[in-house]
Structure 1
């Protein structure tokens, strides 16, 4: 389970490095009580909006409130599902198309709780955390992104 109850920092400056993802997965091979992992990776799309193409998203957040809310969500999810581990990372700053901006990784003795918890975390994080993305287009213009 969780051990200590301190608020964990979920924020990473810029794109989430693939090495962090691989290392996080590799560290769990010694935990032989885990039977299932669920991983969600959010990647920046090159959406077309009014004839322009998104080249990056710049993320900002009300960090203190976001971390408090994420801590509360984490506690609720651990209370609701029999998880062994939960790891969450979200980008701040500029993340280019094709790069990873969100990494959610849940582990459990069985697959179903890991999958359900991962999905709920992603949905609640997007709905409840004060994190905003500004789409930056290939012509250097920008607009605030709708969080869907």
Structure 2
């Protein structure tokens, strides 16, 4: 199984290096990238300063492996990578990175949406919203 969880935010350097590594794979005709970023939502007049992500890593890795296998069965993909942050991620920072490659663009669009939704729906990754006033609450995915 591939390493999925990254301590801290997903850096722009990490994203750029991921893209650069795929330039030698000349059978690829299309890439699609999804970046999930922490929003500074205002909830009950309190602004989100960060989200603290935790997970049950063994089960999360198992679910992510299942999602990966299903994605390769459903879509004609050449490469597919999922990365998710754990720890405290400030608003404005990237916490979720999905990178999909295929021969054709149609496949990468459909696959990316399916993968993002499957990760959000099926993976035990939990986010605690940390507000500017030092209060917190568990995040509900939407």
Q: Output the TM-score relative to the length of structure 1.
A: 0.94
Question: Where do 5+ consecutive residues of structure 2 fail to align?
Answer: none
1:23-75 per-residue CA deviation (whole Å, 9 max, x = no partner) reads 00111111111111110000000000111100000001011001001101101
User: What is the total number of aligned residue pairs between the two structures?
Assistant: 142
SS of corresponding position for 1:58: strand
- Greater Cα shift, 44-53 or 26-35: 26-35
1:1-148, aligned counterparts within 5 Å? 7-148=1-142
SS of corresponding position for 2:40: coil
State the alpha-carbon separation in 1 of the partners of residues 66 and 16 from structure 2: 27
SS of corresponding position for 2:34: strand
State the alpha-carbon separation in 1 of the partners of residues 26 and 3 from structure 2: 27
What value does the CA root-mean-square deviation take over the aligned residues?
Answer: 0.7
1:73-100 per-residue CA deviation (whole Å, 9 max, x = no partner) reads 1011101111110011000010000000
Question: Where do 5+ consecutive residues of structure 1 fail to align?
Answer: 1-6
1:111-145 per-residue CA deviation (whole Å, 9 max, x = no partner) reads 01111111101000000000110000011110000
State the alpha-carbon separation in 2 of the partners of residues 60 and 96 from structure 1: 14
Cα distance, 1:17 vs structure 2: 1.0
Q: Output the TM-score relative to the length of structure 2.
A: 0.98
